[in-house]
Structures are given as structure tokens and as C-alpha cells.
Structure 1
Amino acid sequence: MHTIQQSASQVVRQVLAGKNLNQALSVLLSPSAGKNGLRITSQQRGALQDMSYGTLRFYGQLVRVLDQLLHKPVQDAQVRCLLLVALYQLLHTKASPHAVVDHAVRAVRKCNAAAGGLTNAVLRNFLRNRDALLTQASISEEGRYAYPQWWIDTVRNQYGVHAGEILLAGNRHPPMTLRVNSRRNSPEDYRAILARHDIESSLIKPGAVLLAEPVPVMKLPGFFEGLVSVQDAGAQYAAHLLDVKDGMRVLDACAAPGGKSTHILELAQVDLLALDKNAGRLELIGENLQRLKLHAKLQCGDASQPDGWWDGKPFQRILADVPCSASGVVRRHPDIKWLRRSEDIKGFAQQQLSILCTLWSMLDDGGMLLYATCSVFSIENQCVINEFLMRNADGRQLPIPAVHLNNGQLFPDDHHDGFFYALLQKNA
């Protein structure tokens, strides 16, 4: 286990230095990494991911616990990250405390022989005084919620007494939900197939299948045959809200990896253009289309610069799933909490407004545009829409039924991640 702890601490250290979590993990696990690549079993890979994700998920809490245990700061960043990983295991996993401490000491000695004794003392001190240390750590809001203070302040200023619930939901393990290909099957019938494979599930809004426990995609019956896709239930609202009809010309801007594009195609026979400025991610859309036996035109291009890809013909429907802070999906990407800065959010909002105004010029009279983010920050959501409507008198925001959404905002919960939707119609 100490090799896995050591690898997890390397990942955490790289993220805290500014690297994307998925990138840090993929580089470490890549076969092309040569002699520095990590050769581990699938079970060890799962443990590495859990330690890396978990330590970053609860980083704000773990730091405040560790700072209480140290008489002076640890200058060796690798040792400090190893201590944080071990504290995560002791606090949030069922791993044997004795084994965690033993492996952590051995892992630390590999990179700093002199710090082995310190590691042993710190972790055993934590085990003796766990409750008192946690109580003290929770006095700080960063220690209580495990987010940077600016993030906590932003959510509280927007949602008041509901802020704590929203923040804590972002620290839970995300659910695994499926979208059944309506061209091939119904959610009810697919649940019966799951039951025959001893996979427990339930049906939730908006017709998504929620698994009681996550399973590898290769164990999902019919996945490779195109019967089903893995997609968060919150993301599944998009295609339904867009209300596509057969024969429509539809644009999915910023489309990769293609979950919403393929959902649109499952609901209606449309002429769909899937756009993304990242050629590599555009390939993912092609793979999804092939698996589901669907067809769309793929185009590499920037949604805010249409001169290079738009043919001048208007669209009846546009999905603008714009780049954002991803604050609503932070439980799937805990590194976001520590990589984002408060000033980044205003930058996203400016980019979002620019894309929205550009796409609006491509929308047919009477057509509808669905603006979507996976954010819970209003500056990226309704504030952008308000500014857009002030600039564009030919647009109006349509109501979204309250039974589904809270004024367009979905908060992360046990069924779905956090999303925002605004449905805009152009005056005929």
C-alpha cells in the first residue's frame, strides 16, 4: 500500500501546484511513462484514485487537522502530501489504522528517511486525539466544509441557509445514472434487464436510471451495443428542455464528449451539427455516435468565431453548453476547488456572454436556444442571461416548470449534479 500512498501523494502535490487531476493520474498510469510509469493491478488503481480524489475532496479539512498536529510546518512538500493522504485514509476510509500508519512511515522514509519518526508520531497522535482535532478543525469554515473561503462566501451570499447543504453535497460520492436509448428500449424494460444481472436500480427524473451502486461500464448489459449511456440525470434534462422535433436543424455548440448530442438524436430525427474546438474531444463524440448507431455532422470550431465553420443557414434549436467553473460537478472533479480562483468566475461569465450573443445571431426567428452550465454560481448563470436580455430585445426567457427545476438551477443531491438551464426564444 505504501507505493500507492506515495503515488497518490505525488498526484496531490502536482494538483496543488496547478495540474489537472485527471492529467496527473493519466501521466502516472500511462504505459508511455516508461520506467517511471506505475504498474499496478485494477484494485490498486482504484485505491490510488480513491486516495487522490478523496484527499483533494477533503483537503480543507485535512490541512487544518495536520496543522494542529505539527509543531512547525513541514518543508518537504512530498512528506506533507503523504501525511494528508494518510489522514484521509484514517478519517474517510475503512482501511486498518495500523496498516495505514505503517505504510505511510515506509512511504515517507523512501523520499525522506529523516521524516519517518515524525510521520509515525503525527499519525498516532491523530488516532489518540481524533475527536478533539476534528472539533477544532471544524471551527474554521474551510475545515468544516472543505472548500476555499471565497467559494464558501459565494455560495452563502447566494443561497443563505441552504449554503451548507449545497457545499456538503459537493463532497459526497457522485451517483451513477444511465440514459436508456429511447430508440432501442424503455427505462422500465432496461431496469428489468439490469435486475436479471443482479444490478439494483431505480427510475428518477427525467427518465434516468439510478444505480444503487456504481458498476464498470463493461458490466452494463447492452452498453457496447448502444442500449444505454452513462450520463448524469441533471445533464439529461437538456435534450428534453430543448424540445427538438423531426426535421429541425440543430446546433450543439461546445458538444464534446457528446452525451447531450446523442440524447438529442435519440429523441428526434434532426439535422445535428456537433461543434467543439478541441479536435481530440471531437473524436469522443464520433465514438459515442458510432456506439449508439447515430449520425451527426462533426465540426471542429470555436462557437464564438463562426466565420470558420457556419454556412449562414439558421438553426431552429441551439444548445449552448458553455465553458464554466464546473462548480456544480465538483464532487466528480475535486481538484476544481483548489485550482479555481474567485477572479476566474468573472472571466467565465464574460466568455459565456460572448458565446451566447454570437450563437443568437445563428438562431432562426421563433427558434429556441438552451443555455446550460454545470455551475451553481449565479454570476455564470442567471446574471449572464439578464445581461444578454438587456442587450437583445428580440429574446425572451421562457419559464422552466418548477416541478423539475428551481428557476433553472439544479443543486447537487443524491440523484444528480449541479446544473443551470435557461431557455431563450427569439421573437418571430
Structure 2
Amino acid sequence: MSPPISVRALAADALADIALSGHSLRDVADKAFPRLPDSRDRALLTALLNEGARWWTRFDAAIDKLLDKPIRRNEPVVHALLVIGLVQLEVLELPAYAAVAATVEAVRELRRPRLAGLVNAVLRRWQRERETLNAALDATPATRHGHPAWLAAAIARDWPEQTESILAAANREPPLMLRVNRNRATREEVVGRLAGAGQTAELHPWLADGLVLPHSTDVTRLPGFDQGDFAVQDGAAQVPADLLGLANGQRVLDACAAPGGKACHALERANVHLVAVESEAKRIPRIRQNLERLGLRATVITGDAGDASGWWDGKPFDRIMIDAPCSATGVIRRRPDVRLHRREADIPALVAQQARILAACWDLLVPGGSLLYVTCSILRSENDGVVAAFMTGRSDIVATPLALPVGQPTACGWQVLPGDGDLDGMYYALLRKR
């Protein structure tokens, strides 16, 4: 068993892994939680890691202003601890005396006692000069909103009128949204059960299966979770089931299925024969777990959606959904570590993969059938760019006009930007085969 450790020391070690070594926040948090038996400590760790990842770009730059010589390379954990210290002071607004003292003590726990004085001096200097330092950090969009410079520039290029609102929305805590399994319960029944457990929930105004909870909570402890009455799913991810035009007896393909939320929603909507394809074998168990808990059945296959030769049985599909691998730039508010791990150089390869999957899946669609192309990206190159290039020179494709209560039309589809209707950012293009 690992020895006891304070939340701040554990958070610094974990944040260094996330920001400087490329590990996912979810994986790091899952590994760290067992070392903190107290639920309050786990809640503080969650806040420190989420806000540390969200504001890393800002406070990483701030630390460079506060140090004569950077320590990022030689002492990455202490550098991350300094970010944790600034998060406590500026974002969580913890009492300064307690935040500074606990952070300095964490240096000793991390076996860096010689750096305790440096950490104390940096945090004290921040307190003295915070107005000047914050003003300097607010002067550029990247550090003002905690986005890497390339992404802030890409958003400004693609969405010049909405840039500030997009960047700001990515830093607001999203609501917790549930999707009620209409095979098991009605929305009103679930709301009543939650109210009995002291949990407030409201019917989403236009998503037929959606509920909105004001704050995050451990959903596994809510009444009805084990029975499959509902699943966690942002409202933007609930839209595809509405757009697909599902009906009993259809043959449906979910081409990039993990973790299975959209596939499950389709099965809750109609009695369809659904084939869920996922290229990463390690993600298949999660699909099966979700299907089992919700009482649903599908054919789950490990395979490459961009090359059907290894898994397709030759029977065409009436409906196809491609939730394409993408930059995830529309879901940064829920996955703050995306902004640390995604690189501008990643985009061309993602676009090529999206185009390959779209072309391959189109050949599996029956004439008269519909294919829904979805990404959780807000970058035009991954969205209209991919769809328009695919449609060029083809006479067998008709782009179906879309209209949702939030978001805006694009040349080929519909874009919901982060914060529109308090949803995640997501793109949809519905293509019908002549």
C-alpha cells in the first residue's frame, strides 16, 4: 500500500503527468483516488486537477514571470505544484494563508525540502503583484482563457464573431445532463425518484429524453442508475437520435461506437438491429457494460470503420452514424486536458481519417438511406471541410437541411458551439443517398 500523502502533493504529481507527460486526466485521477479514502479529499483533488488542467496555460506562463530561471524541465512536479498553488488562490479562492502553507508543506512531502523556500517566495510574490500579473496575462486570448495559442488562433479564424464567447464557455462548469431510458422509465418518473433522494432535476426544454441537474454528482449513487433508468450524456450528444429518423426494423450502423452512448440511445428509440463497430479493442468492454446496464442488445464488433472488409457481412444499412475521431475541441469544458494534449499538427491526420471513414461507410448505405456525420469539434476543417470535400463531384449525395433550437447552419450541416443552450460543441451533417 502506498504511504499517506496530502491532496496537494498528490495533485502536483498527477498534474505533472497530465500536463507534462501527456497522460489523460481521467486515467490519472482513477489511479490517484484510491489513495484518498476521504470523500472531501477526493473532491478537492478533482477540483485541483480539473482547474489545473483548465488554467495550465495561464498559470504556466505566470510562473515563468515569477521565476528567474524556469524549473519546468528539472523539477516538473514542483512546477506543477506552483500551478496548484495559483489555482487555489485564484480559481478556488481558498484562504491564502492556508493555501500557501499547505502547498509549501507539500514540497516537503514530495521530498524536495530545499525548494520549500522557493515555492513560498513565488506564491507570496504572486499575492503582492497579482493585479499587475493578471493584467499582463489577460492581454492575450490564450492566457486570458487558458487555451494554447494555436487553438485560440484557430477559433478566432473559424468563428471571429463568437471567439470570446467560445473561449469563455470552455471555462464554465457544465451542467450534468442525463438521458432517460424510455424503455425503463419516463422523465417524470426519474425526476420524482431523484427528488425523493434530495436531488433536483429538470426536464430539458427540447430534448425529449434529457434531464438537467445543476451540479455534478456521483450518478452511480442515484436511484435508478443500477436499474438502467438513465445514462449520463450531454444534450449535444442526444441530438443524433433525433436526426437519424429511426424506425423499427431498420439496420443501423454506429461506425465509431465507444463508449456506446449514442448507440444505446438509438436502441432506446426504436427496435433496430444495431451494429456497433469500434477500432480500439480496449474500449469494447465499456460498450458492452453500457448495453447490459440499460437492458439493450446490439452486435458489437472490433473493427476499422474506414475498412469494412474485415467485419462487414455484406448487408447494407438503412442508417449510419459516424461519430468521427476528432480534435474534441467542442468538449473542452468537460475534458480540460484536451487543451494540453491536442496539437495543431494533429489536425491534418484527423481530417484524413475522418474522410477515409466517411468514404468507406457511404458504400455500406442503402439507396434512400441516411448517414449522419458527427464530430465534437468546432474546427471547420474537420466538419464542413470534410463533408464538402466528400460531396464534391458526386451526384448520389443530398445534404439534408437541419434546424435545431440552438446553434447555426453551416454550408453542409449544423454547428452547435460550446455554451449554445448550455450544450457542448458538436457538428452534424445529415447526408441522404439518392
Q: TM-score range by the shorter chain?
A: over 0.9
Conservation of the 8 A alpha-carbon contact between 2:407 and 2:417? no
AA aligned to 1:153 is A
Matches of residues 186-205 of structure 1 in structure 2 within 5 Å? Answer: 186-204=186-204, 205=206
User: 2: distance between equivalents of 1:184 and 1:19?
Assistant: 37
Residue 277 of structure 1 is aligned with which of 273, 279, 284? 279
Residue 313 of structure 2 is aligned with which of 303, 307, 311? 311
Matched, 1:59 2:56: yes
State the identity %.
37
Identify the range of structure 1 (157-166 vs 7-16) with the bigger mean alpha-carbon deviation: 7-16
Give the aligned partner of residue 289 of structure 2: 287
Residue 401 of structure 2 is aligned with which of 395, 399, 402? 399
Gaps of 5+ in 2: none
Q: CA deviation at 1:404?
A: 4.4
Conservation of the 8 A alpha-carbon contact between 1:2 and 1:106? no
Conservation of the 8 A alpha-carbon contact between 1:2 and 1:103? no
Conservation of the 8 A alpha-carbon contact between 1:366 and 1:426? yes
Conservation of the 8 A alpha-carbon contact between 2:278 and 2:304? yes
Pair 181,199 (structure 1): closer, same or farther in 2 beyond 3 Å: same
Matched, 1:22 2:26: yes
**Root-mean-square deviation over aligned CA pairs:** 1.7
Matched, 1:301 2:307: no
User: 1: distance between equivalents of 2:161 and 2:285?
Assistant: 43
- TM-score, normalised to structure 1, is 0.94
User: 2: distance between equivalents of 1:192 and 1:131?
Assistant: 48
Residue 65 of structure 2 is aligned with which of 68, 84, 88? 68
User: 2: distance between equivalents of 1:89 and 1:124?
Assistant: 13
Identify the range of structure 1 (112-121 vs 353-362) with the bigger mean alpha-carbon deviation: 112-121
TM-superposition CA deviations, 1:39-63 (whole Å, max 9, x none): 5423222222221121110112112
Give the aligned partner of residue 8 of structure 1: 11
Matched, 1:93 2:108: no
User: 1: distance between equivalents of 2:304 and 2:371?
Assistant: 17
Conservation of the 8 A alpha-carbon contact between 1:2 and 1:104? no
Conservation of the 8 A alpha-carbon contact between 2:190 and 2:224? no
Gaps of 5+ in 1: 31-37
Give the aligned partner of residue 206 of structure 1: 207
Give the aligned partner of residue 244 of structure 2: 242
Pair 247,415 (structure 1): closer, same or farther in 2 beyond 3 Å: same
Q: CA deviation at 1:402?
A: 4.3
Conservation of the 8 A alpha-carbon contact between 2:233 and 2:261? yes
Give the aligned partner of residue 220 of structure 2: 218
Give the aligned partner of residue 138 of structure 1: 138
AA aligned to 2:15 is V
Give the aligned partner of residue 412 of structure 1: 418
AA aligned to 2:415 is Q
Conservation of the 8 A alpha-carbon contact between 2:320 and 2:365? yes
Aligned to 1:327, the other structure's residue is in SS state coil
Q: CA deviation at 1:391?
A: 4.9
Give the aligned partner of residue 34 of structure 1: none
Matches of residues 314-325 of structure 1 in structure 2 within 5 Å? Answer: 314-325=316-327
User: 2: distance between equivalents of 1:330 and 1:96?
Assistant: 28
How many residues align structurally?
420
Identify the range of structure 1 (356-365 vs 8-17) with the bigger mean alpha-carbon deviation: 8-17
Q: CA deviation at 1:210?
A: 0.6
Q: CA deviation at 1:357?
A: 0.3
